[in-house]
């Protein structure tokens, strides 16, 4: 069976780690592209040699030439300036909007039929910009955020209760940042609602830690930002799409009336399969969760307005 071709734009920590997660599956050929001469080629060569140890036969190519990405089945965008300590995701907007525009012009030229997964920050607004430039169907341009934010919340809950993370079911919606919305009414541990297991004050502490989860890692690393969990989230989405898994996952998607919003990219549950976003899932939210979701949407809309001023 012919392997699918995946191109990753940006050979930094997130891009190169995503290349590793994808290559080791043995199902996808990977092109790792970076505008700088050397890093993508070197990492691709190193990764190819690691696959020899794994006994996995896939093609891994490093390049700075978009022609090598031609006819990709799926493109992952990680390119852009990383978030630095003290910098909000919105601070990145002016820097990364032009990067996203340039990248998407090349994707449109060389892989007009590809699915596109955006990881670059500020995530929701960069995904919106990708859709503007690509002019692809909304189902094919998706942001990776909810899987990461949900993983952080699940991790903190499992540690709080000293139980397996496998037994924590939850979902984080909204924007990828300080306004994200961990949905407590849909958070269960072994079938028990979280509010029956953890005090209200401790739940709030876990929620706040989740909201600032990216910043916590940035501060600890001192240089750079998270990359293991974001890149693993990419794999989850790639498998759901290219293997037509029909997964229900929280992703950043384009709304046209769902949840009462239009012309916005925001994190909600969706069915992800062979057609990309096959369905937006509208779950029941409490009044407080609806209010928090509204605040998150308003913050994103403000960013989209600024984006249109920067990139008319």
Q: 123-179 pLDDT, tens per residue?
A: 999 999 999 999 999 999 999 999 999 999 999 999 999 999 999 999 999 999 899
Between CA 27 and CA 72, with CA 75 as vertex, the angle to 5 degrees is: 65
CB-CB contact of 253 with 142 (8 Å): yes
Report the chain's mean pLDDT, rounded to a whole number.
95
Q: Express as a percent the part of the chain with pLDDT over 70.
A: 97
75-84 CB burial, b ≥16 within 10 A, e <16: bbbbbbebbe
Catalytic residue numbers, as ranges: 176
312 pLDDT tier (thresholds 50, 70, 90): confident
Residue 85 predicted with pLDDT over 80: no
Helices 39-54 and 13-23: crossing angle in degrees, nearest 10, is 30
CA 292 to chain CA mean position, Å:
21
CB-CB contact of 37 with 105 (8 Å): no
Which residue is associated with the tokens 């390119």?
Answer: 79
CB-CB contact of 283 with 159 (8 Å): no
Over residues 12-39, mean pLDDT: 96
pLDDT at position 2, please?
85
pLDDT at position 91, please?
73
pLDDT at position 305, please?
94
- Tokens, residue 164: 């397996």
Residue 230 predicted with pLDDT over 90: yes
| Separation between Cα atoms, residue 283 and residue 304, nearest integer Å | 25
- Tokens, residue 131: 């859709």
Residue 216 belongs to what H/E stretch? Answer: helix 213-221
pLDDT at position 86, please?
67
CB-CB contact of 43 with 62 (8 Å): yes
pLDDT at position 95, please?
86
Q: 191-226 pLDDT, tens per residue?
A: 999 999 999 999 999 999 999 999 999 899 988 889
Between CA 17 and CA 24, with CA 19 as vertex, the angle to 5 degrees is: 100
pLDDT at position 90, please?
67
Q: Which of 158, 159, 175 is nearest to 167 (CA)?
A: 158
Q: 26-43 pLDDT, tens per residue?
A: 999 999 999 998 999 999
pLDDT at position 92, please?
78
71 pLDDT tier (thresholds 50, 70, 90): very high
Question: Which of helix, strand or coil describes residue 251?
Answer: strand
Conformational region of residue 174, where left means phi above 0, alpha means psi within -120 to 50, and beta covers everything else: left
| Separation between Cα atoms, residue 211 and residue 69, nearest integer Å | 35
Gyration radius of the chain over CA positions: 19
Residue 55 predicted with pLDDT over 90: yes
| Separation between Cα atoms, residue 80 and residue 78, nearest integer Å | 7
CB-CB contact of 281 with 140 (8 Å): no
pLDDT at position 87, please?
64
Between CA 41 and CA 45, with CA 42 as vertex, the angle to 5 degrees is: 85
CB-CB contact of 51 with 58 (8 Å): yes
Residue 83 predicted with pLDDT over 80: no
């Amino acid at each position: 069976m012919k392997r699918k071709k995946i191109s990753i734009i940006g050979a930094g920590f997130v891009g190169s780690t995503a290349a590793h997660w994808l290559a080791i599956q043995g199902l996808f050929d990977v092109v790792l592209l970076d505008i700088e001469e050397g890093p993508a080629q070197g990492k691709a060569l190193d990764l190819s040699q690691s696959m020899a140890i794994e006994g996995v036969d896939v093609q891994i190519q490093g390049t700075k030439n978009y022609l090598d990405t031609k006819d990709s089945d799926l493109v992952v965008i990680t390119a852009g300036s990383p978030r630095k300590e003290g910098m909000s995701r919105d601070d990145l907007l002016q820097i990364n909007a032009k990067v996203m525009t340039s990248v998407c012009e090349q994707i449109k030229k060389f892989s007009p039929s590809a699915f596109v997964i955006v990881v670059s920050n500020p995530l929701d607004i960069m995904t919106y910009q990708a859709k503007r430039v690509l002019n692809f169907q909304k189902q094919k341009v998706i942001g990776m955020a909810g899987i990461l934010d949900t993983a952080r919340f699940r991790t903190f809950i499992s540690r709080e209760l000293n139980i397996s993370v496998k037994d924590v079911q939850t979902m984080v919606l909204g924007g990828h940042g300080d306004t994200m919305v961990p949905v407590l009414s849909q958070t269960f541990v072994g079938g028990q609602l979280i509010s029956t297991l953890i005090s209200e004050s401790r739940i709030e502490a876990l929620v706040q830690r989740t909201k600032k989860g990216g910043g916590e890692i940035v501060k600890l690393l001192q240089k750079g930002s998270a990359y293991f969990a974001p890149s693993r989230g990419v794999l989850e989405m790639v498998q759901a799409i290219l293997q037509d898994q029909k997964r229900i996952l929280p992703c950043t998607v384009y709304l046209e009336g769902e949840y009462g919003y239009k012309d916005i990219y925001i994190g909600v549950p969706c069915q992800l399969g062979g057609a990309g976003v096959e369905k937006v899932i509208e779950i029941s939210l409490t009044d407080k969760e609806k209010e928090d979701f509204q605040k998150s949407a308003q913050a994103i809309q403000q960013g989209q307005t600024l984006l249109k001023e920067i990139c008319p």
